[in-house]
A and B are shown apart, each in its own frame.
Chain A
Amino acid sequence: MAGSKEKELGRVPLRERAWFKELVFTLKRIRESPLSLAGLTIVAFFAIIAIFAPLIAPPQPGRDPYVMPRHGYLATPKPPSDEFPFGTTEGQYDMFYGCIWGTRTAFRVGLLVVGGALAIGVTLGALSGYFGGILDEIIMRITDIMYAFPGLILAMAFVTAFGVGLDNVIKALILVGWPTYARLTRAGVLQVRQEDYVEAARAIGASNARILLKHVLPNSIYPVVIVSTLDIGSMVLTAAALSFLGLGAPIGYADWGQLISMSRNWILGEAGNPFAYWHTYTIPGIFIFTFVLGWNLLGDAFRDILDPTLRRR
């Protein structure tokens, strides 16, 4: 049979590769659940906003596009108008521009944090699970200790140590986030390590590096990647909270958490009109909420992907 010959040569046909099977399974799960479909739609919508941000809210040439343009220096925010569809916030920053480019900031923060945490987590988790012994013990005890801290509070400590700023928020969240992925990778590697094909590879004298990279990781990494992707929402939420507390993006930076932080003096409105400045906190809040909701809806359908009893195969 052609298929088995291909296998002998180490070339697995596409439809039998682990990642391809997982992808098909994933797409099937999304199609089966209306809620996750809604989540996917929301995330896709934000992705389009982020990609086309320069067209939706064109930046002024020669300026940092992530800094919101100002239209005057008056403190009092202006309500939505034809010129500024979302109004302006304290200091006359254009909120529409801020929310649109804030979408890019959100994706950038989410992808960098999850990417960084995943890189560290998968590396340490794979080494831990594959080699075991003292290395495993050390890495797992470190994750235990990291788990003893609420993420936001540990991130706060890291940011105060590194210095305030969005880049440092990203670094702090990577440092806080990796243990989850290390544990998941380790669990997956431990399972796959026992499989016959790993034994076979070892028997023909493949090196540890080769077994790990070619056989173990490709067959165990998929749930970790899925879970990490779905964490983008909560990572963005934590980053926004840090920006809100004044530890992240600087004033005027197109960042949702920062926009809400800038609205704090205007929450109570003015005499006789308590909601005079509703737009300053409501609009960026809806952006964060919807973004996170999208990821969570998508995630809800996939939490059970880690549950082996619910998995096919």
Chain B
Amino acid sequence: MGGMRTYIIRRLLLIIPTLLGVSILVFSVSMVFSPEERAALYVGEGGFKAAARIQAIIKKYGLDQPVYVQYYNWLKNVLQGNLGWSKSLNIPVARAFTELWPASVEIAIYAAPLIVITGIVLGRISAVHRDRWPDHISRIFAIVGWSLPTFWSAIVLLAIFYGALGWFPPGRLSPEAQSIVHSAEWVSYTGLYTIDAILNRNLFVFVDALRHLFLPVLNLVIVGNAGIMRVMRSSLLEELHKEYVMAARTKGVPEKAVINKHAMRNAMIPVVTMAGVLVAGFLTGLVITETVFEFKGLGYWAAHAATQLDFPAVLAFALFSGIVFVVSNLLVDILYAYLDPRIRLG
């Protein structure tokens, strides 16, 4: 697999300029502020005394230096994990990340596979039953999901399943489960409550965590799978008209096997390449969904930080999203090259 290794190395080298570009863009957004305003971010509250300190801070952090010097300093800090102070949480940004990521990852590990699976299944149904009612229904489902405002569907779900029925409360855990999780006996392995509950053998916390996850995950699936469904449908339709499918049919291969063993495999390739778009859509959905369901993860924090002009937090989240996007595209490309030799040798 020598070809594969050179491909991976080449691809890894290629993301360095992109990541630098991403960091430059985030840095430029922060340069909209004057040195005084940026210094004030370090000072926080404090009246006259603070005003006097601002000049000292500008000097200390070199906020009046030429742009490229400032960028260098900033990048050095970022690489050392020093991302500034989040005034909305009153803790360093880096600590906010370490405290909040499990909540978002927990939503992601349930929602992402469901989005992909429902999208693929609906797309397959649509293509196989082209222009018949299963196709019409799943296409309508997709276009409705595509047009639904994420925040509105979340509100409606909350009004029905919590306001009226009381089944699925907002937040991450109920107060009772909270007290268990914060007790001395609880061992926090991952910070993901459903997984930790299994490892701690605590059914109550497990069920409680699932109940709180249900609506956010459902909401993300409703608005998230339309894209996959559409790509899956058109790519499977295209494959079903190709000659190798025709050949398999004439050979007497049962239709189900023609679709599953032959057409689906090739039709999946465009879906795999969509991963980047999916990640972007997912991160956006996460910000809104976590906000409505008061599910305190990274997205909730970013949205609240934005309204409170907690600038370091918003920029750090933007930087994080950019990195997640670039890295997930990298992984997809490597996976893709592994599956399809033409890519790495071409």
Interface of A with B (CB < 8 Å)?
Answer: 141-142, 144-146, 148-154, 156-162, 164, 233, 237, 240-241, 244-247, 257, 260, 263-264, 267-269, 274-275, 278, 281-282, 285, 288-289, 292-293, 296-297, 300
Q: Which residues of B contact A159 (CB under 8 A)?
A: 306
A269 engages B163 (CB within 8 Å): yes
Query: A161-B29, A161-B33, A246-B307 are contacts. A149–B155 as well, Cβ < 8 Å?
Result: no
Please classify the interface of chain B as helix (H, G, I), strand (E, B), loop, or mixed, using the class held by over half of its residues. helix
How distant is the Cα of A289 from the Cα of B163 in the complex, in angstroms? 22
Interface size counted on chain B using CB atoms at 8 A: 48
With both beta carbons as reference points, the residue of chain B lying nearest to A276 in the complex is identified as: B163
* Most A Cβ at <10 Å: residue of B25, B152, B280, B291: B152
Q: Which residues of chain B have a CB within 8 Å of any CB of chain A?
A: 17-18, 21-22, 24-26, 29-30, 32-33, 143-144, 146-152, 155-156, 158-159, 162-164, 280-281, 283-284, 287-288, 291, 302-303, 306-307, 309, 311, 314-315, 317-318, 321-322, 325-326
Distance in angstroms between the alpha carbons of A109 and B148 in the assembled complex? 18
B162 touches A268 (CB 8 A): yes
Complex contact A150–B306 (CB within 8 A): no
| CB-based contact A160/B314 at 8 Å | yes
A141 touches B322 (CB 8 A): no
A237, B149: Cβ atoms closer than 8 Å: yes
A246 to B308: give the CA distance in the assembly, Å: 10
B159 touches A268 (CB 8 A): yes
- Contact present for A278 and B159 (CB under 8 Å): yes
A27→B156 CA distance, assembly (Å): 37
Q: Which B residues touch A145, using CB under 8 A? A: 18, 21-22, 24-25
Min distance, Cβ A227 to any Cβ of chain B, angstroms: 16
Residues in A whose Cβ lies below 8 Å from that of B159:
267-269, 274-275, 278, 281
C-alpha spacing A150/B33, complex, angstroms:
23
B277 → chain A closest CB, angstroms: 10
The residues of A that contact B24 with a CB separation of less than 8 Å are 145
With a CB–CB cut-off of 8 A, which chain A residues contact B326? 148
Q: B311 contacts which chain A residues (CB < 8 A)?
A: 160-161
A-B pairs, top 4 by smallest CB distance, nearest first, are: A145-B21, A274-B164, A285-B152, A150-B280
